[in-house]
Structure 1
Amino acid sequence: MIDIHCHIVPNIDDGAKSLDDALEMAKIAYGEGIRKIVNTSHYHPNFEYKKGEELFENIKEFNNILKLNNIDIEVFIGNELYYSEDIIDIIEQKEFYTLNNSKYLLIEFPPIRFPKNIVDIIYEIKIRGYVPILAHVERYKEVQENVNIIYDCINEGALIQVNSSSIIGKNGKDAERVSKILLDNNMIHFIATDAHSSTRRRPIIRETYDYIVRKYGEQKAEMLFTQNPYKVIEDKEISIEYPVKYEKSKGFFKKLFKK
Structure 2
Amino acid sequence: MDVALEMARAFVADGITVVACTPHILPGLYANTGADILRRVEWLQGVLDDHAIPLRVVAGADNHMVPDFVAGLHSGHLLSLHNSRYVLVEPPHHNAPPRIEEFFFDLLAHGYVPVLTHPERLSWINQRYSAIEKLADAGVWMQITAGSVLGTFGRGARHWAERMLDEGRAHIFATDAHDVTKRPPQLSAALQMVADRVGRAEAENLFFVRPKGILLNEPPSALPMPVHRKPTNSATRADTTTAGRARGFWRIFQ
Compute the TM-score of the two structures, normalised by the length of structure 2.
0.83
Residue equivalent to 2:216: 234
Corresponding residue to 1:62 among 25, 32, 44: 44
Q: Per-residue deviation at 1:52?
A: 3.4
Give the distance between the partners of 1:214 and 1:176, measured in 2 at CA. 15
* Percent identity over paired residues: 25
With over 3 angstroms needed to count, the CA separation of the structure-2 counterparts of 1:245 and 1:143, relative to structure 1, is: farther
Map 1:168-247 → 2, pairs under 5 A: 168-238=150-220, 239-241=223-225, 244=228
RMSD of aligned Cα (Å) = 2.0
1:102 aligns with 2:84: yes
Corresponding residue to 1:138 among 108, 120, 139: 120
Corresponding residue to 2:19 among 34, 37, 40: 37
Residue equivalent to 2:140: 158
Q: Give a deviation string over 1:174-202, Cα, whole Å, max 9, x none.
A: 00100000011111001101111122211
Q: Is the Cα contact below 8 Å between 2:34 and 2:61 reproduced in 1? A: no
Give the distance between the partners of 1:146 and 1:240, measured in 2 at CA. 27
Q: Is the Cα contact below 8 Å between 1:186 and 1:242 reproduced in 2? A: yes
With over 3 angstroms needed to count, the CA separation of the structure-2 counterparts of 1:88 and 1:237, relative to structure 1, is: closer
Aligned partner letter, 1:241? M
Q: Is the Cα contact below 8 Å between 2:202 and 2:226 reproduced in 1? A: no
Give the distance between the partners of 1:198 and 1:89, measured in 2 at CA. 35
With over 3 angstroms needed to count, the CA separation of the structure-2 counterparts of 1:84 and 1:193, relative to structure 1, is: same
Q: Give a deviation string over 1:220-248, Cα, whole Å, max 9, x none.
A: 111011110011111012235366599xx
Q: Per-residue deviation at 1:62?
A: 0.7
Give the distance between the partners of 1:98 and 1:30, measured in 2 at CA. 24
Q: Per-residue deviation at 1:140?
A: 1.0
Q: Per-residue deviation at 1:113?
A: 1.5
With over 3 angstroms needed to count, the CA separation of the structure-2 counterparts of 1:104 and 1:56, relative to structure 1, is: same
Q: Per-residue deviation at 1:169?
A: 0.8
Aligned partner letter, 1:155? D
Q: Whose Rg is larger? A: 1
Aligned partner letter, 2:183? R
Q: Is the Cα contact below 8 Å between 1:160 and 1:190 reproduced in 2? A: yes
Aligned partner letter, 1:197? D
Q: Give a deviation string over 1:70-103, Cα, whole Å, max 9, x none.
A: 2111000111111135545544544211100001
Q: Is the Cα contact below 8 Å between 2:15 and 2:188 reproduced in 1? A: yes
Q: Secondary structure at the residue paired with 2:114?
A: strand
Q: Secondary structure at the residue paired with 2:124?
A: helix
Map 1:6-85 → 2, pairs under 5 A: 19-85=1-67
Give the distance between the partners of 1:192 and 1:137, measured in 2 at CA. 12
1:129 aligns with 2:111: yes
Q: Is the Cα contact below 8 Å between 2:104 and 2:140 reproduced in 1? A: yes
Gaps (5+ residues) in structure 1?
1-18, 247-259
With over 3 angstroms needed to count, the CA separation of the structure-2 counterparts of 1:243 and 1:116, relative to structure 1, is: farther
